[in-house]
Amino acid sequence: MHVKHYSANAKPNAIELNFLECAGEQETLIYKASAYDGDGDAVMDSFTNTDVNRNGKVDELDKALIRVLCKLFLEFKWYAHKE
Ligand SMILES: [Ca+2]
Ligand SMILES: [Ca+2]
């Protein structure tokens, strides 16, 4: 999970989530999702249509899960700060 793009005021406005499967030393990218902050308030408000909970359908629950992950990610400040 990482910040993909920063806005002009150095706030993260795109976050990419890569879901990897690890077998020994090998990492395989299973799927990825992205979240974007369209209005610049540092809260992600649009999301890719990704079945993050792997239940076979893409719905509001998937978006809610991505939203929660991004919110926690930002609260932990789990990213490099650009000053
Ligand atoms: Ca926003
Ligand atoms: Ca789903």
Nearest-angstrom CA–CA distance, 80 and 69: 17
Among the bound ligands, the one closest to the CA of 60: 2
Write down the pLDDT at residue 39.
Answer: 92
Write down the pLDDT at residue 68.
Answer: 96
Among the bound ligands, the one closest to the CA of 12: 1
Nearest-angstrom CA–CA distance, 56 and 54: 6
pTM of the complete model beyond 0.75: yes
CA of 46 to the centre of ligand 1 (A): 8
- Tens-digit pLDDT profile for residues 3-57: 999 998 889 999 999 999 999 999 999 999 999 999 988 899 999 999 999 999 9
Among the bound ligands, the one closest to the CA of 52: 2
68-71 — which CB contacts under 8 Å span 24+ positions?
69/1, 69/17, 70/15, 70/17, 70/35, 70/44, 71/43, 71/44
